[in-house]
Amino acid sequence: MDSRPRPPAQRGAARAAWLFLLPVLVGFGLFYLYPAARGLWWSFTDYSLLAEPEFTGTQNYAELVGDAQFWNALKVTALYVVLNIGSQTLLALVLAALMHRLTRSVMVRAMLLVPWLVPNVTVGLLWLWLLDADLGFVNHLISSLGGESTAYFASPTWALPTVALVNTWAYTGYTALLLYAGMLQTPGYLYESAAIDGAGETRTFFTVTLPLLRPVLALVLVTSMIGSFQIFDTVAVTTEGGPVNVTKVIYFYIYQKAFHQFEMGYAAAAGVALVAILGALVYVQLRLLKASSSDLG
Amino acid sequence: MTLRRFLHKHPGRLAAWAFLGIAIVATVFPFYWMIRTALTPAGDLYTDSTGLWPDHPTLINFSRVLGFLDVAEAQAAGGSGARIDFIRYLMNSVIYSTLVAAVQTFCCAMAGYALARLRFRGRDLMFTVIVGALMVPPIFTLLPNFALVKNLGLLNTMAGLAAPTLLMTPFAVFFLRQFFLSIPAAVEEAAVIDGAGRWMIFWRVVLPMTRGPLITIAMTTAVWSWKDFLWPLLVGPKEQTRTLTAALGIFLQQSPNTRPDWTGLMAASTLSIVPVLLLLVFFGRRLIDSLNFTGIK
């Protein structure tokens, strides 16, 4: 190929490439690279948006290590992620398997996808209303079954699980469709031979479907976990971090530091910590992903 | 075989369908309840909050959140007296989502094409850096981006609102590059021999061939922008740029804590899902099929 005289278009390729890339490079430079560098710089400064940033060395980081609120935010986020991803993945897996074996209906899939298409703010408002202690439908339902009406978002015990389950509601359908798409890649003959061998549905799921889904499942877990870590909207609408900080997740903590207390430098340092944590998480998960390539090869 | 005999013979299938049915009801019912509440007169809420259909269905909640009533009339119908004008917020959201989806898809298609198809020095490094940005949580770049937009005097302008996502997101570049990689090189080579320039090849040959993925990424981007909450809330809270999600958040805050304006809030929430439902009705199959490759690979 290279020994042939290059056509004129090939020679101009490099110049053409830069022209094609120009808008994206401008956008990337201005709104990704520059702010990333700036955020990193801020994390070493005292900065309130009003005066110029003032270099303070590693003071923000030192404070962060001793900041009980910061550790609380991490703990809350971790708990949230476990509750949310745990319930969501399990439910989605069951739903995907059921769809896979029962129906190819686009209508069913479309309905399951609706909550994912709706803004999180709407989801938050909707559940705030459904779970309203006086008039909410869910509480009506619970009282009519003899239970006690509870202000779930205002309860220190229930607030975090409630937020986690609300987002499980919002994202299970989407996750199920991703897993379902993965299941469709499993060759049909495996099911036929499983049926010939007399394996029941449950057995087939655990010996055929699940092992072959592993790489897809791992990838879906990585992406949904990254998303879950960044929960903000639902908390901002329903609990605003309360009651007594039980739902103050890391995103909300950073947001408050930056835009309520105007401690931009400190917020940036917490942001750097978040980048590091997510990076480590992704690294570990990708390692596990590599170790678990599909049995189909 | 009658239904009865079928169910008798396959109790497992019955349970499976039941589970799927419950999942669908649990997914869709909250939206039904949202609309049911929106159709209830505010004054009736305390006496009429359990039935499946309101005793006196009305559209007044929609007309007041859309700003069709004057303040006194709106207040009489349950409003808090604060000015709300959802027709405007709806328009702002539509403009924001459409603008970002159209421009971003086009710019990222150009870049994706160059990164997949044109040879130049530093190409692979550039691609790695752009994909690496996927790992950076948005809040980290959000703080400096806010400062940048503020310093440029672009707060509460459509330009400031759209700026960070207008030209690119790393995901869109990544996604489209993968697609351009899969186009057979022979097609382009034929065009090159015909003497067509790079731009003509891209415009006349490559773009038409990737219509599917282009529509997919444009729709995904539109949905993301539509759902976006924190950025529009920070950058464009004023009337002229307030998006629907930001407006919902502000509406909730203006609503009295002790007695939120649920009928108004649910009417406004309903508005936030209408365009998304339209998208599902018109592009449902494409949107659902797209999950086969957006989430995986």
pLDDT in tens, B229-279: 999 999 999 999 999 999 999 999 888 777 888 999 999 999 999 988 888
Q: Does the distance separating the beta carbons of A21 and B114 come in below 8 Å?
A: yes
Percent of chain A with pLDDT over 90: 56
pLDDT in tens, A164-192: 999 999 999 999 999 998 888 888 888 88
Q: Does the distance separating the beta carbons of B245 and A17 come in below 8 Å?
A: no
pLDDT in tens, A84-98: 999 999 999 999 999
Q: How many CA atoms lie within 13 A of A123 on its CB side?
A: 28
Residue B178 confidence class, pLDDT cut points 50, 70, 90: confident
Are B137 and B44 members of one domain? Answer: no
Q: Does A206 touch chain B (CB under 8 A)?
A: no
Residue B6, pLDDT score: 66
Residue A132 resides in a domain: no
Distance from CA of A138 to the nearest CA of B (A): 10
Are B96 and B231 members of one domain? Answer: yes
Helices (runs of H) and strands (runs of E) counted in chain B = 16, 0
For residue A47, count CB atoms less than 10 angstroms from its CB and return exposed for 0-12, middle for 13-18, buried for 19 or more: buried
Q: What is the mean pLDDT of chain A?
A: 89
User: Judged by CB atoms within 8 Å, which residues 193-252 of B form the interface with A?
Assistant: 193, 196-199, 201-202, 223, 226-227, 229-230, 234, 244-245, 248-249, 252
Residue pair B103/B165 in contact by the 8 Å Cβ criterion = no
Residue pair B249/B237 in contact by the 8 Å Cβ criterion = no
Are B41 and B181 members of one domain? Answer: no
Q: Quote the number of domains for chain A.
A: 1
Inform me whether the pLDDT recorded for B296 exceeds 50.
no
Q: Does the distance separating the beta carbons of B291 and A178 come in below 8 Å?
A: yes
Nearest CA in chain B to A14: B120
Q: Which of B12, B17, B137 sits opposite A230 (nearest CB)?
A: B137
Q: Cα–Cα distance between B40 and A7 in angstroms, integer?
A: 70
Residue B27 resides in a domain: yes
Which H, E and C letters describe A150-201, residue by residue? Answer: CCHHHCCCCHHHHHHHHHHHHHHHHHHHHHHHHHHCCCHHHHHHHHHCCCCH
pLDDT in tens, A60-69: 999 999 999 9
Q: Does A139 or B186 have the greater pLDDT score?
A: A139
Sequence-ordered strand ranges (E) for A34-149: 45-46, 54-55
Find the range with the poorest average confidence among A220-234, B69-83, B120-134.
B69-83
Residue B43, pLDDT score: 84
- Structure-token pair, residue B236: 């464009």
Q: Cα–Cα distance between A165 and A124 in angstroms, integer?
A: 11
Find the CATH number of the domain harbouring B116: 1.10.3720.10
Q: Does the distance separating the beta carbons of B202 and A20 come in below 8 Å?
A: yes
pLDDT in tens, A21-58: 999 999 999 999 999 999 999 999 999 888 889 999 89
For residue B28, count CB atoms less than 10 angstroms from its CB and return exposed for 0-12, middle for 13-18, buried for 19 or more: middle
List the Cα angle A24/B161/A254 in 5-degree steps. Answer: 95
Residue B297, pLDDT score: 38
Q: Does B51 touch chain A (CB under 8 A)?
A: no
Inform me whether the pLDDT recorded for A107 exceeds 60.
yes
Q: Which domain holds residue B11?
A: 3-58
Helix A264-291 / helix A210-229 crossing angle, nearest 10 deg: 180
Q: Quote the number of domains for chain B.
A: 2
Are B100 and B202 members of one domain? Answer: yes
Percent of chain B with pLDDT over 90: 48
Helix B262-294 / helix B86-117 crossing angle, nearest 10 deg: 10
pLDDT in tens, A220-240: 888 899 899 999 999 999 999
Residue A155 resides in a domain: no
Distance from CA of B6 to the nearest CA of A (A): 14
Q: Which residues of B touch A279 (CB under 8 A)?
A: 135
Inform me whether the pLDDT recorded for A3 exceeds 60.
no
Find the distance separating the first CA and the last CA of chain A, reported in whole Å.
33
User: Judged by CB atoms within 8 Å, which residues 94-123 of A form the interface with B?
Assistant: 94-95, 98-99, 101-103, 106, 108-115, 117-122
Residue pair A116/A170 in contact by the 8 Å Cβ criterion = yes
Residue B275 resides in a domain: no
pLDDT in tens, B102-111: 999 999 999 9
Residue A214 makes CB contacts below 8 A (sequence gap 6+) with: A292, A293, A294, A295
The residue among A2, A21, A180, A184 with the most chain B CBs within 10 A of its CB, best to mutate, is A21
Q: Does the distance separating the beta carbons of B229 and A120 come in below 8 Å?
A: yes
Q: Does the distance separating the beta carbons of A34 and B148 come in below 8 Å?
A: yes
